[in-house]
Structure 1
Amino acid sequence: MNPSASPEIVVTRFVEVGGDTPYRIAIGPDLLTDGAALAAHVRGRHVLLVSDSNVAPLYAGRVREALHAARPELLIGTCILPAGEESKTLAHFGKAIDALAELGATRDACVFALGGGVVGDLAGFAAACWMRGVDCVQLPTTLLSMVDSSVGGKTAVDIPLGKNLVGAFHPPRAVFADTSALRSLPPRELRAGLAEVIKYGAIRDPRFLQWLEQEREALLAGDDEALALAIAASCEHKAEIVARDPLEKGERALLNLGHTFGHAIEAEQGYGGMGNDNLNHGEAVAVGMVLAARLSTDLGLAPAGDAERLAALLDAYGLPTRIPAGLAPEALLARMRLDKKNVAGRLRLVLWRGAGLAEVVPDVDEAAVLKVLAD
């Protein structure tokens, strides 16, 4: 190293989420150890730190120490979940509620959700329900949770019949996306997060899609600057939509491109994780986006070339583009009928008219959906 070289300048980016309950997303390295910034969002003296068995050994101690250094009087409890989607259940939600009770958490308590989407969804739901709602700060540690689940205030748990069917809207007080945590992310999880990043280009920004094509090698290699730019761009897209439609009564549904298909795959395979052959959430969404694009082509809404380009991009990122073997089309369609966007028992799907032109299409013909699932 050249001793005369100037030190690297570390930049923290901020994205503001507006609406009735505004909050800030901070994106940058070493945010999990910034005790003053974290503690600034704790109104009382009770903190419940919710994490999982993979993330807690890496980061929970650091967060606890940082909070205590800034606010020595804080009473900090912990709730550690088994890692994996199979933990996002009412039973484990009950354990988080029990932890709040054992802590003696009052209405000015704060729940810190340290982990991926499972932890963020479950911890946020516990915060929404304890004493009819206490504060929550999201500390996402996966790319998927940084660009999707930690932003927007959706919280939920799964039940055997479907994904995210029990939950509440509960916006966080703040989100800290510590990009340093991505260095310990397994390659498969990184790719799963990039599926959601690609989604933002697919629904509303063709130029972002082009940038993702150009920066593929840097992103897959975990380049800090490229990932920070991708996270910031994704969060900006989501923040704009969430501010206009916080309760998903219209435009926000566009964020679910590929998710109705993807959730059906996840539910039918029994929910997956990184340690088995089932698709994880990002992988299922990748397949779902391809199916939605092909259905759009079949319905005459979009050119086939755009669907092929999207599938090629996802494939280049090492993501699946086909339904896993052994899942019956009729069973997947039955799962899709439970989707929360449906109206009066009719399928209501997010499709597109080409790259960057997603729209919600009501009353989609089930025969056309079944054909895409079978093909």
Structure 2
Amino acid sequence: MTVSGGRVPLSVLDLSPVSAGSTPRQAIRNTIELAQRAEGWGYRRFWVAEHHFVRVASSSPVTLIGLIAAATETIRVGSAAVQLGHHASASVVEAFGTIDALYPGRLDLGLGRSGHRADQIRSAGVPPVHTPERPIQVRDGVVIPPPFSPGQLLDTVRLQAGLRALTLPGARPLDYTEQVEQIRAFLDSGYRSSEGVVLHAVPGEDAQIELWLFGSSGGESARLAGRLGLPFAANYHVSPGTILETVAAYRESFRPSARYPKPYLVVSADVVVAPDHATAEHLASTYGHWVYSIRSGAGAAEYQDPDTAQPLSEQQQRLVRDRITTQFVGTPAEVTARLAALQQLTGADELVITSVTHRHEDRLTSHRLLAQEWGLSHVRAA
């Protein structure tokens, strides 16, 4: 599929952010409205993330996906991504299968490694081995900052508490690759246990669900997606410093599958669009505050009002500079040009856009202006 001017399709990634002074209940309603508008504006997919114990309301993506599917008609709906460290394979397939029974052929089951796995938490808060910091690069108009190290997280106590709360006592998450294979088996013709018993997911088996993997590095997720011939989503908006390695790992490891004879890559970007540059800069001015709340270890806070928030200190800015410099902020023409550069550099087949502002109306405007400038109203089959 292409859009006006030969551009690739755009999709939406939403976190159901809770703005300062608002509520999770309103955040859910905002997400439903955004999904309905995105469908009308020509976006191809609407994905929701999974986060727990923070001020975003997407803690139960499967429930939210069912609500969005019921409130829309044609747009694909999915997870970006189900964090496998918190879920059993069968429960994931059965939940998506239940939704697919009513809305067949519209679901994307995105899988990711949990950001709260014990090995990642152990590495967080531990100063990384000192290596000379790579300077910020600009490749064909795309900003590539130094990679962010988990060792830079300021406090991991909350992460550890969250992991314990999401895990049954004594439970051990499966190896990521093993769990992905389990899910593939449940979606296909049944999972064979170590005892030779074949288990069938009902509903779920033979459902019209598209399986995706998500990743922020050139590690296990990217290479597994390639080996299995699956579509892959690379998180530039989360880890801009590793985007080139991530994309290369996926492409280098890709083996054709029945559904995907060649790689299919989606790349994410964080975007704020407004009618003029100054307004866009103002609306995006508290994005750094939000990222800092995550990287400080406290978890995503309420999204602050740019009219009242105090500026970040220089020390705080250093912790989030990679994310601020790689946010796409400006007029529709400015942001479209930068997104086109990102697409060209990565060879993405599709871009997925996330946009967070304090006021829901500004977020709607951002997505609408981008859709118009990109040409989504003229979507046609390739």
Same fold? TM cut 0.5? no
User: Relative CO higher for 1 or 2, CA cutoff 8 Å, sep ≥ 6?
Assistant: 2
TM-score computed with the length of structure 1 as normaliser: 0.29
More helix by share: 1
